[in-house]
Amino acid sequence: MIVTDAVRSYLAETRPDPDALLAEMQERGARDKVPILDPQAATLLHVLARAIGARRIVEVGTAIGVSTLHLARALPDDGELISFEIDRERHTAAQSYFSRARLAAKVDLRLQDAAEGIAELTGPFDLAFLDGLKAEYTGHLDLIVPLMRPGGLIAVDNVLMSGAVAEGRPIDGWSGDRVATARAFNDHLLSHPDLLGTITPVGDGIALAVRR
Q: What is the pLDDT of residues 41-85, one digit of tens each?
A: 999 999 999 999 999 999 999 999 999 999 999 999 999 999 999
Within 1-134, where are the H helices?
5-14, 20-31, 39-51, 66-72, 88-100, 114-119
In the predicted model, is pLDDT for residue 1 greater than 90?
no
Residue 174 DSSP class: B
Q: What is the CA radius of gyration of the chain?
A: 16
Please, which residues have CB within 8 angstroms of residue 55's CB and are 6 or more apart in sequence?
75, 76, 78, 79, 80, 126
CA distance 72 to 103: 7
pTM for the structure as a whole: 0.96
Please, which residues have CB within 8 angstroms of residue 114's CB and are 6 or more apart in sequence?
60, 61, 84, 86, 132, 136, 140
Please, which residues have CB within 8 angstroms of residue 100's CB and are 6 or more apart in sequence?
21
* Overall average pLDDT of the 128-132 stretch: 98
CA distance 149 to 170: 37
What's the mean per-residue pLDDT of the chain? Answer: 96
In the predicted model, is pLDDT for residue 110 greater than 80?
yes
When pLDDT is cut at 50, 70 and 90, the band that residue 184 belongs to is very high
Give just the sign of the alpha carbon dihedral 159, 62, 136, 57.
Answer: negative
Q: Percent of the chain at pLDDT above 90?
A: 96
The pLDDT value recorded for residue 99 is 95
From 61, 66, 13, 64, select the one nearest 38 (Cα to Cα): 66
Would you say 130 and 57 are in contact if contact means Cβ atoms under 8 Å apart?
A: no
The pLDDT value recorded for residue 2 is 86
In the predicted model, is pLDDT for residue 173 greater than 90?
no
* Overall average pLDDT of the 201-209 stretch: 96
Burial environment of residue 99 by CB neighbours within 10 A (0 to 12, 13 to 18, 19 or more): exposed
pLDDT per position as a tens digit, 157-172: 999 999 999 999 999 8
Residue 98 in 3-state DSSP? helix
Residue 159 DSSP class: S
Would you say 44 and 202 are in contact if contact means Cβ atoms under 8 Å apart?
A: yes
From 40, 45, 39, 83, select the one nearest 64 (Cα to Cα): 83
Exposure on the CB side of residue 116, measured as CA atoms within 13 A: 6
Domain 5-211 has CATH 3.40.50.150: yes
Report the number of secondary-structure helices (H) and strands (E) in the chain.
9, 7
